[in-house]
Amino acid sequence: MNQDVLSKIVENNKGLISQGAVATYIPELAKVSKDYLGAVIAFPDGTMLSAGDTKVRFAIESISKTVVLALALLDNGEEEVFKHVHKEPSGDAFNSIKKLETEPDHLPRNPFINAGAIMTASLIKGKDPEDKFNRILEFMKKISEDDSLELATDIYLSEKATGDTNRGLAYYMKGQGVLSGNVEDILDVYFKQCSIYVTTESLAKIARFFANGGVLSTGERVIPKKYAQIVSGLIATCGMYDQSGEYLDNIGIPGKSGVGGGIISPVSSKKIGVAVFGPALDAEGNSVAGMGIMKDISKEMELDMF
Ligand code: DON
């Protein structure tokens, strides 16, 4: 892989943008241009290859769920976290309530669907919601090696104002006695974690962090290797929601998407992190051109795990 090849890959996938649309259920996200497209590959020595719109800031959305899972594991340990959330793909849409009702224990199927992420957000330690969010933001800055990350207040307020499906999921879990704490406080942390501004570069470094077993490019270990393996494993099985199987089959590396248009792929075998940004999404909420780029990068660099 070199700069020219990566630039060509981004260029070649621009045609797919017309097959998707920006997310509109969060009004502030509807204002983003659907034409952005970018890709970054972060290598273990700290170097990166970037092509396209890689410095544009956008909301991390569901990709934050990987970071919050890692912090919840640090705060509580593996055994405690997985008393509250399962590790299985749901096969349903990311905001579905279906299995919360039909599963006998009413626990979310995994930490990456909205119900599961609200659960893991509730496990973050801190004296109040602000403290909990600040701990998430500081942790995300550390593992992305990017101090410029910050809350996108307009997006946060937009999520909070329109997040009734998430409220439904959280109150249902509280009603079943599986979610503890003040629901509005937990949702506040969740809405804020989704509304952190990132760039494709910061996301690629987060992916590299997980691919390197929880170690930064400086060599500093931040989380135990086991926790990074749990996050990467769940990204592979549950990261693209009801498209997770197809993504793994088609592209051959783990992928975690967000409705802001980002996708991260931690590639443990090569210790590299790949991230793409393309806000035009398909019906499942995954970046259409972003997945096209991931497929081409995987092919070009022979990343397929199988
Ligand atoms: O809660 C939500 O619906 C959004 N904040 C995040 C959803 C999301 O990113 C799903 N990803 N593809």
pLDDT single digits (tens) 113-148: 999 999 999 999 999 999 999 999 999 999 999 999
Residues 110, 28 share a domain: no
Residues 129 and 237 occupy one common structural domain? no
252 band by pLDDT with thresholds 50, 70 and 90 = very high
190 is in an annotated binding site: yes
Same domain, 180 and 275: no
User: Does ligand 1 come within 6 angstroms of the Cβ of 94?
Assistant: yes
Spatial distance between the Cα atoms of 230 and 254, rounded to a whole number of angstroms: 12
Place of tokens 């760039």: 199
Please report, rounded to a whole number, the percentage of residues in the chain having pLDDT higher than 70.
Answer: 100
Same domain, 97 and 210: no
CA–CA dist 251, 243 (Å, integer): 12
Which of 167, 194, 221 is the C-terminal boundary of a domain?
194
The token duo for 127 is 């004296």
Task: Give the helix ranges, DSSP H, for 145-263.
Answer: 153-162, 164-175, 183-194, 200-211, 225-238, 244-251
Query: Final residue of a domain: which of 194, 212, 231?
Result: 194
Does residue 305 lie within any of the structural domains?
no
Same domain, 75 and 190: yes
Cα distances (angstroms) measured from residue 58 to each of 21, 33, 139, 203, 282: 15, 11, 18, 11, 18
Range in 235-239, 241-245, 278-282 with the lowest mean pLDDT: 241-245
Q: Say if 235 falls within a structural domain.
A: yes
Q: What angle do CA 19, 21, 25 make, to 5 degrees?
A: 150
Q: Three-state DSSP class for 89?
A: coil
d(CA 259, CA 83): 28
- DSSP-derived letter for residue 288 is H
How crowded is residue 259: how many other Cβ atoms within 10 Å of its Cβ? 23
**pLDDT tens readout for residues 13-22:** 999 999 999 9
Three state DSSP letters for 123-165? CCCCCCHHHHHHHHHHHHHHHHCCCCCEECHHHHHHHHHHCHH
pLDDT digits (tens, 9 = 90+) for 183-194: 999 999 999 999
Q: What confidence tier does 304 reach under pLDDT thresholds 50, 70, 90?
A: very high
Q: Are residues 89 and 155 in the same domain?
A: yes
Residue 306 lies in a domain: no
CA angle 75, 180, 257 (to 5 degrees): 60
Give the model confidence (pLDDT) of 144-182 as tens digits.
999 999 999 999 999 999 999 999 999 999 999 999 999
C-beta of residue 66 within 8 angstroms of C-beta of residue 206 = yes
> Whose structure tokens read 């919050």?
68
pLDDT value at 237 more than 90: yes
Residue 245 has pLDDT above 90, yes or no: yes
Say if 279 falls within a structural domain: yes
Whether 270 is covered by a domain: the verdict is: yes
Task: Check if 258 has its Cβ closer than 6 Å to any atom of ligand 1.
Answer: yes
- HSE toward the beta carbon, residue 105, CA cutoff 13 A: 8
Q: Closest residue (by CA) to atom 11 of ligand 1?
A: 258
First vs last C-alpha separation in the chain: 20
Cα separation, 95 vs 294, in Å, equals 24
**Is 227 a known active-site residue?**
no
List the domain range (segments joined by +) for residue 109.
Answer: 62-194
Instruction: Please check whether residue 263 lies inside any domain of the structure.
Output: yes
Does the active-site annotation cover 171?
no
Are 118 and 173 in contact by the 8 Å Cβ rule? The answer is: yes
- Residue 298's pLDDT band, with cuts at 50, 70 and 90, is very high
- Is position 288 annotated in a ligand binding site? no
Please indicate whether residue 242, judged by its CB atom, sits closer than 6 Å to ligand 1: no
241 pLDDT band (50/70/90 cuts)?
confident
Main-chain phi, psi angles of 194, to 5 degrees:
-70, -20
Cβ(210) to ligand 1 under 6 A? no
> Do 274 and 301 touch, CB atoms closer than 8 A?
no
Query: What's the mean pLDDT when you consider all of the chain?
Result: 97
d(CA 151, CA 147): 12
Active site residue 247: no
Residues 6+ apart with CB under 8 A from 49: 1, 2, 3, 6, 40, 41, 43
Q: Residue length, the chain?
A: 306
CATH code, domain carrying 66: 3.40.710.10
ipTM of this complex prediction, to 2 decimal places: 0.98
Catalytic option among 65, 99, 192, 205? 65
134 and 87 fall within a common domain: yes
Q: What is the mean pLDDT of residues 272-286?
A: 96
Domains contained in the chain, number: 2
Are 67 and 186 members of one domain? yes
295 φ, ψ to 5°? -60, -45
**Residue percentage of the chain with pLDDT more than 90:** 98
Please tell me whether residues 255 and 159 are part of one structural domain.
no
Domain identity same for 171 and 73: yes
Give the domain-ending residue among 174, 194, 214.
Answer: 194
> Is 251 in the same domain as 296?
yes
Same domain, 130 and 42: no
Phi, psi of 98 (to 5 degrees): -45, -60
pLDDT of residue 109: 97
Give per-residue pLDDT as tens, 35-85.
999 999 999 999 999 999 999 999 999 999 999 999 999 999 999 999 999
| 242, pLDDT greater than 90 | no
Measure Cα distances from 17 to 108, 251, 270, 287, 290 in Å. 32, 18, 29, 9, 9
